[in-house]
Structure 1
Amino acid sequence: MHYETAPAKINLTLDTLFKRADGFHEVNMVMTTVDLNDHLSFEKRADGKIVINTNHQFVPTDRRNLVYQAAELMMETYEIKTGVNIIIDKRIPIAAGLAGGSADAAAAFRGMNALYALGADIEELAELSGKLGSDIPFCIYGGTAMAAGRGETIQPLSKPPHAWIVLARPEINVSTRTIYGALEPGKNLPASKNMSEAVNNGEYQSIVSLMKNDLQEVTCRKYPAVKKLLASMDSCGADAAMMSGSGPTIFGFVQKERQASHLYNAMKGCCNEVYKVRLLG
């Protein structure tokens, strides 16, 4: 039996530079992990099957799940003939812009590597994982990093200064494809290079002042609930507030736990799904 932790991520920046010939957007992003985790366990089985069980009714347990696809790709790549039982204890909200599915897939790559003692290094796993999704390579590395290309080119950064994060997810679902489809790439000045320097220098005030997400304007225009929640986060005392990924989850930064508790309680009055977590990085 082998166990893996899969932490959620937030974007500190998301710069969209241009639309590529392959249909994807060229991006620069600074991302970091937070202390909100799914937990996965892995156990060998003899019949060559991949069997997934989970505590969340809306998480598929067949090939629609990235965890299944990751296990399948590892079995094909490394010629594993036996199968695996995988249990996913889901804590990260789904379809929230927090890369929960990608974090679980990354845990599956690491978990299969450890369970079968394959000896693959982190660069090898990250490159392989890019075949399944743009956020998975970052989740393989974890910590804090700048991601480029489609998100698959990873440059690790220093651990950011200590901070608390309050996450709030409104009760709506956002289509990532729709948001990117309505985007004007290159419209805003990129912020990821300056953010990388602020993170590496441990400058908390610079980090919160440089936060930027090119998708936020589009999502707020299409989903007023996100715009309203951002305004509430600002008015309730966050040092800075922003949307993660394509949304709908928004997050607020504070430095002290007392402030985080106050912000958490205030946001509980605005929506049901609120989390108070530490910045891991």
Structure 2
Amino acid sequence: MYELNAPAKLTLSLIITGIQESGLHELEAEMVTITLADTIRLSEGKTQVTYRGDYPISPPPEEDLIVRALNTVGQSMKVDVNKRIPPGGGLGGGSANAAAILRWANFKDKNGGILLGSDVPFNIRGGRASVAGVGELITHLPYEDRVFTLILPPFGCSTADVYRKWDEMGGPKSCNGNDLEPAALELYPELGKWKMALEDHTGKTARLAGSGSTWFVEGNFPAKGFVVAQTTKENF
């Protein structure tokens, strides 16, 4: 039996710098890993993934990043996931799970990781980093002990749809540190009330995590309905 920790990724800033011919968006971002995390237990057996906890999802095997990561490292394992990172929350939960499998298998090939998802290369090592390109250009930065308060809406945002809406809107820039925020709010207007709830609770301007749906502010503001998380150091 192996027990793995899969910390969420929080994108503190996100600037879109260009679009490749393939349609993938290039960016400059600062990312950190935080204490909000999934717990993954591996045991011997034919590959089968069961999700429990706050988000007992059931993705098809061909879309499950844990299955794909196991295939990448040539392993077959029974997997039990205590899922605390919300799917579609902009916190890279699927990528965190895939990265945990790659770390367990001592697989550190960034090029192989990027095939699983743009956040996987960062999540393999975690900590704090500047990320560029389509997620493959990573400059690790000194650890900073910081605390954030998050609000997790009961719905997710489609990353692909948010980027598509950003294109349709002509590539708007945000004054709040995340260029995807205007597109996410246009596509999911209900995000606005969750942003307002966090701002009313903390008195601070909320920022969108990645493509959403999570909002966050820096600081420790515990209360029912909010999640307080600290930054974590690198995984190795």
Q: Mark yes or no: TM-score above 0.5.
A: yes
2:83 is aligned to: 90
**Residues 101-136 of structure 1 deviation map (CA, whole Å, 9 limit, x = unaligned):** 1100101111233xxxxxx5x3x2x33111111011
CA distance in 1, matches of 2:206, 2:229: 15
User: d(CA) in 1 for partners of 2:114 and 2:139?
Assistant: 15
RMSD, matched Cα = 2.2
SS class of match (1:227): helix
Match of 2:134, as an amino acid? R
Give the Cα separation in 1 of the matches to 2:203 and 2:120.
29
Give CA deviations for 1:27-67 in whole Å, capped at 9, x if unaligned.
1111111111101122333xxx3222221432336232100
Q: Is the 8 A contact 1:164 1:276 kept in 2?
A: yes
In structure 2, the residue matched to 1:205 is none
The CA distance in 1 between the partners of 2:156 and 2:51, in whole Å, is 21
Residue 66 of structure 1 corresponds to which residue in structure 2? Answer: 65
Partner of 2:44: 44
1:17 and 2:17 equivalent? yes
Shift of 1:187: 4.6
1:108 matched to 2:101? The reply is yes
Q: 2:26–2:133: 8 Å Cα contact kept in structure 1?
A: yes
- Where 2:58 maps in the other structure, the secondary structure is coil
Decide which structure has the larger Cα Rg and report it. 1
Counterpart code for 1:249: T
Give secondary structure in 2 for the equivalent of 1:4: strand
Which residue matches 2:230? 278
Question: Helix, strand or coil for the counterpart of 1:133?
Answer: coil
Amino acid aligned to 1:60? P
- Residue 166 of structure 1 deviates from its aligned partner by 1.4
Partner of 1:196: none
Does the CA contact (< 8 Å) of 1:17 and 1:186 recur in 2? Answer: no
Report if aligned partners of 1:179, 1:218 keep a CA contact under 8 Å in 2: yes
With over 3 angstroms needed to count, the CA separation of the structure-2 counterparts of 1:180 and 1:168, relative to structure 1, is same
Q: 1:4 to 1:228 in 2, by over 3 A?
A: same
SS of residue matched to 1:22: coil
| Separation (CA, whole Å) in 1 of partners of 2:153 and 2:2 | 34
Q: 1:228 to 1:57 in 2, by over 3 A?
A: closer
Distance, in Å, in 1 between the alignment partners of 2:113 and 2:135 is 11
Distance (Å, rounded) in 2 between the aligned partners of 1:219 and 1:42: 36
Cα pair distance change 1:128/1:275, threshold 3 Å? same
- Structure 2 unaligned regions, length at least 5: none
Following the alignment from structure 1 to structure 2, what is the Cα–Cα distance between the partners of residues 65 and 4? 17
Q: Secondary structure at the match of 2:69?
A: helix
Identity of aligned residues (%): 29
Aligned with 1:174 (options 140, 157, 174): 157
Q: How does 1:81-230 map to 2 (within 5 A)?
A: 83-113=76-106, 120=107, 122=108, 124=109, 126-160=110-144, 162-184=145-167, 187-188=172-173, 212-230=177-195
Q: More displaced, 237-246 or 91-100?
A: 237-246
Query: TM-score when scaled to structure 1?
Result: 0.74
Contact preservation (8 Å) 1:51, 1:61: no
**Structure 1 segments (4+ residues) deviating >6 Å:** none
Amino acid at match of 1:95: G
In structure 1, the residue corresponding to 2:166 is in which secondary structure? coil
Measure how far apart 1:90 and its partner are.
0.9
Q: Which has the higher helix share?
A: 1
